[in-house]
Amino acid sequence: MEQITSFNPPHRILMGPGPSDVPQRILDASARPTIGHLDPEFIHLMDEIKQLLGFAFRTENRLTMPISAPGSAGMEACFVNLVEPGDKVLVCINGVFGNRMVENVNRCGGVAITVDDEWGKPVDPQKVEDALKADPEIKVLAFVHAETSTGVRSDAAALASLGKEHGCLVIADTVTALGGIDVRIDDWRIDASYAGTQKCLSCLPGVSPVTFSDEAAAKLSNRKQPVQSWFLDMNLVMAYWDDTTAQRSYHHTAPINALYALHESLIMLQEEGLEAAFARHKAMHDKLKEGLGGLGMEFLVEPEYQLPQLNLVCIPDGVDDAAVRNQLLEEYDLEIGAGLGGLAGKVWRIGLMGNSATEKNVNACVSALANIIE
Ligand SMILES: *Cc1c(COP(=O)(O)O)cnc(C)c1O
């Protein structure tokens, strides 16, 4: 075999649906010396990460920590721990990730009941209320706060409140929401949520922050059957992450250096402040709208429900979707996302997540598209 040489990635501007641009400061943090996962210095870092995640999620939940795997594993952690065989789960579907939730419910042996809304529209709280009223046996309500496949924000506060009124545990996907728009786990009474590091936290992919309320923890400890996933069983994960356990024990080897990066990204969010971060995402979204509007391009989602961090832009008539995306990547080192499902070929998904939400990026994207299309 020929000698294979080191990989040197190109410098891309990441304006797709994630990952987002990782600041050098976070890359530097991840390059610090690896230490043991039970080293007292590392345990101290873990405690700080838990505190910082509580700040980002706006929660006092004791069960708040990163899962050592990407957002999809965070999703799976919520479902495998909180859904037992036979449990009825109401899943709201208005894009790709709602469908994945149904997949998870089925694989847990749960019974998924769905409320469906058109792609590009938010979850309709009225339909959710009707479904909850129609079946008092529903135990869990699950929805996606920020649907990355459609660029839509649903009303997480209203949905969670309906779930609680009807005695449900509430699971919310905040993968694309966290750090980009307001997420209030405690105020909205969300029982379980999972997020991602590579979206609005601008961190390395591969880790998923999760949080569980006391009510969710109670359900977890009163399960009739053990969680079918050994790796994601929060009862076991807690033996490693719980700071009230005098002796932390080995469960799996934490992704040490990825957690240095997460720690740094959360410090950066704390330095900027949540409100300031949300305002920056909104300001860059407005600027992108103005720039692309000037090129005659339209946004798919109604302004009221638009996610600032993920913009669905209608591809102008006669423009070749894939050719433009390829040209952006090859000539401008700029990545944007393709449409998914029924929106494939009709829209581009332009991400302004975390460190990608800068004036420089917006200008680069608008001027590159102007050059290519005009
Ligand atoms: C990206 C994303 C996920 C999955 O996260 P991965 O890190 O890719 O596994 C789940 N839900 C939503 C809304 C997402 O945007």
Cβ neighbours of 270 (radius 10 Å): 14
- The residue contributing the CA closest to ligand 1 atom 3 is 71
Q: For ligand 1, what atom is nearest to the CA of residue 198?
A: 7
Residue 71 Cβ contacting ligand 1 at under 6 Å:
yes
Residue 196 Cβ contacting ligand 1 at under 6 Å:
yes
The pLDDT, as a whole number, for residue 149 is: 97
Per the prediction, the chain carries an average pLDDT of 97
Q: For ligand 1, what atom is nearest to the CA of residue 149?
A: 15
d(CA 284, CA 291): 10
The pLDDT, as a whole number, for residue 245 is: 60
d(CA 149, CA 172): 16
Name the CATH superfamily for 13-18+274-373. Answer: Aspartate Aminotransferase, domain 1 (3.90.1150.10)
> Are the beta carbons of 259 and 53 closer than 8 angstroms?
no
**Structure tokens given for 23:** 């600041």
Residue 151 Cβ contacting ligand 1 at under 6 Å:
no
> Are the beta carbons of 17 and 148 closer than 8 angstroms?
yes
**Structure tokens given for 89:** 């789960």
Domain extent listing, the chain = 13-18+274-373, 24-269
Q: For ligand 1, what atom is nearest to the CA of residue 146?
A: 13
By CB atoms closer than 10 A (0-12, 13-18, 19+), residue 217 is buried
Residue 16 Cβ contacting ligand 1 at under 6 Å:
no
The pLDDT, as a whole number, for residue 153 is: 98
Nearest to 151 by CA among 368, 349, 355: 349
b/e 227-246 (16+ beta carbons within 10 angstroms → b): bebebbbbebbbebbeeeee
- The residue contributing the CA closest to ligand 1 atom 8 is 71
Residue 142 Cβ contacting ligand 1 at under 6 Å:
no
Q: Among 91, 96, 148, which residue has the most ligand 1 atoms within 8 Å of its CB, making it the best to mutate?
A: 148
CA distances for 318 relative to 84, 113, 196, 286, 314, angstroms: 50, 40, 36, 26, 12
How many angstroms separate the first and last alpha carbons of the chain? 47
Q: What is the pLDDT of residues 104-133, one digit of tens each?
A: 999 999 999 999 999 999 999 999 999 999
pLDDT beneath 70: ranges in the chain: 243-246
| Cα-to-centroid distance, 75 and ligand 1 (Å) | 8
Alpha helices in 83-123 (DSSP H): 96-107
Q: For ligand 1, what atom is nearest to the CA of residue 176?
A: 15
Residue 212 Cβ contacting ligand 1 at under 6 Å:
no
| Cα-to-centroid distance, 1 and ligand 1 (Å) | 37
Alpha helices in 66-122 (DSSP H): 71-82, 96-107
- What is the value of pTM for the model shown? 0.97
| Cα-to-centroid distance, 290 and ligand 1 (Å) | 28
With residues binned 3-state (H G I as helix, E B as strand, rest as coil), the percentages for the chain, rounded to 5, are 45, 15, 40
| Cα-to-centroid distance, 331 and ligand 1 (Å) | 28
CA quadruple 47, 50, 55, 61: dihedral positive or negative? negative
Nearest to 145 by CA among 337, 305, 339: 305
Q: Among 91, 104, 175, which residue has the most ligand 1 atoms within 8 Å of its CB, making it the best to mutate?
A: 175
Residue 309 Cβ contacting ligand 1 at under 6 Å:
no
b/e 336-345 (16+ beta carbons within 10 angstroms → b): bbbbbeebee
Beta bridge partners of 172: 143, 193
d(CA 251, CA 120): 41
Residue 81 Cβ contacting ligand 1 at under 6 Å:
no
Q: For ligand 1, what atom is nearest to the CA of residue 177?
A: 13
| Cα-to-centroid distance, 4 and ligand 1 (Å) | 32
The pLDDT, as a whole number, for residue 246 is: 62
| Cα-to-centroid distance, 284 and ligand 1 (Å) | 22
| Cα-to-centroid distance, 175 and ligand 1 (Å) | 6
Q: Among 99, 145, 176, which residue has the most ligand 1 atoms within 8 Å of its CB, making it the best to mutate?
A: 176
- What class is the 24-269 domain? alpha beta
> Are the beta carbons of 262 and 66 closer than 8 angstroms?
yes
> Are the beta carbons of 353 and 202 closer than 8 angstroms?
yes
